[in-house]
Amino acid sequence: MTVTERQQRAYVDAQAADARVNVELETDEGMTLNIGPQHPATHGTLRVVAKLDGEQVVWADVVPGYMHRGYEKLAEVRTFPQVTTLVNRIDWLGSFANEVPFILAAEQLMEVEAPARARHIRTILFEMARVANIVLFLGDLGAQLGAVTPVFYAFRDREHVLDQIEAVTGGRFHPNFDRIGGLKDDLPKGWIADTKAVMERIRAFCHQVEELLFGNEIFEARTRGVGVVPAEVGLSYGLSGASIRGSGVDWDLRRDGGVTGLAHGDVDWKVWTHPDGDSFARCWVRLQETREATKIVDQLCDGLPGGPIMAKVPRIIKVPEGEAYVETENPLGAMGYYVVSRGDLGPFRVKIRSASFSNVSILPWLLRGVYMPDIITILASMYFILGDIDR
């Protein structure tokens, strides 16, 4: 029997394939597993490199940057009003919230203040961006843990929020609506009643998710005690938002940030914390925050002041020389813009501090020693948006 060249090659290939897998399995460091950049759990292009011993993570590292779009540099060659259209795309699920801190920083430099009505509507849209963002998180949480159904409910109910945002701004995802000194337009007719109905719907959704997921024994078994972040460790890694409030740190920039230009001080709301610091705590805090956000929107809709929606600003905006840093409590956590102006039409330098980038920086510490399925739970509960990491 003669062996053809093709057979010989196939044999060598098969042996080589075995050998390659074996080499990686038999080294002392265990198997290196690349989770991402293309992987369903990273909803985007995050890459987590994990060394596994069986299914246990020995060592893990996060490699961001696969979606870097250079917004800080791009902002330097745009005028101030044009920058909002860029930063819309940082945290794409809660777009409007990205515009707010930048506009506030510019307002601070120009020493203008938006009228009361503009501040109220701005806050309403800010909180609706939070609702749109976290509703999707609550649904996606189920999908990450293997429950396929909640994510559809999330998309269904988020659509109503997006409809309302679209009715005001004309954009479902990228409103580009915030202006230095106020807003582009006033609210359309009948919008307030519709919005209140939508907020009621979102509260119903929160209840549904609480029943479906948070009360589920498997969900609790998967999340309780998994990925525990002690408060001091979380603070030292620069965690913010619900990720740090889940560790019991009572810190919310909406209340503690001293931000002018938003109307959170005018309404009655509560900062939720959870003492446990595990994945369940982080998810639970986000659920409560969504409810709180709908209440803020309701109250603001009720007490909407009259008056103009735009302060007096020049047609061509030149921002005087100076530096300003404004940080707000965005859906994902603290988001800040450090804006340096040299008196030109556009900013000289913009530094963007985004929440997700700091939040994922704890992952190498947090993932050490956990099991492979817990990686997914932890990634889901830290809740990052890839655009917010890479910018």
Binding site for another protein (CB under 8 A): 10, 13-14, 16-18, 20-21, 24, 31, 33, 39-41, 55, 142-149, 152-153, 156, 212-213, 216, 218-219, 221-222, 371-376
Least distance from another protein to the Cβ atom of residue 386, Å = 16
- Quickly list H helices, the chain: 5-26, 71-76, 80-87, 95-110, 116-144, 150-169, 191-209, 217-223, 231-236, 242-245, 253-256, 279-302, 355-360, 363-367, 372-382, 386-390
Cβ(43)–Cβ(382) below 8 Å: no
Residue appearing with tokens 């009715």:
167
For the chain, the first-to-last Cα distance in angstroms comes to 62
149 vs 236, which CB is nearer to another protein? 149
Least distance from another protein to the Cβ atom of residue 146, Å = 3
Cβ(102)–Cβ(83) below 8 Å: yes
**Using H for helix, E for strand and C for coil, what is the string for 336-381?**
EEEEEECCCCCCCEEEEECHHHHHHCCHHHHHCCCEHHHHHHHHHH
48 vs 168, which CB is nearer to another protein? 48
55 vs 232, which CB is nearer to another protein? 55
Least distance from another protein to the Cβ atom of residue 282, Å = 16
259 vs 375, which CB is nearer to another protein? 375
Least distance from another protein to the Cβ atom of residue 226, Å = 9
51 vs 184, which CB is nearer to another protein? 51
Burial class of residue 190 in the structure, from the number of CB atoms within 10 Å of its CB (0-12 exposed, 13-18 middle, 19+ buried): exposed
Question: Reduced to 3 states, what is the DSSP secondary structure of residue 52?
Answer: strand
Burial class of residue 155 in the structure, from the number of CB atoms within 10 Å of its CB (0-12 exposed, 13-18 middle, 19+ buried): middle
Least distance from another protein to the Cβ atom of residue 161, Å = 16
DSSP string, 87-145: HTTTSTTSHHHHHHHHHHHHHHHHT----HHHHHHHHHHHHHHHHHHHHHHHHHHHHHT
15 vs 236, which CB is nearer to another protein? 15
267 vs 372, which CB is nearer to another protein? 372
Least distance from another protein to the Cβ atom of residue 289, Å = 22
320 vs 373, which CB is nearer to another protein? 373
- Residue 2 CB partners (closer than 8 Å, separation 6+): none
Tokens of 193: 């009643």
Least distance from another protein to the Cβ atom of residue 160, Å = 13
Least distance from another protein to the Cβ atom of residue 51, Å = 12
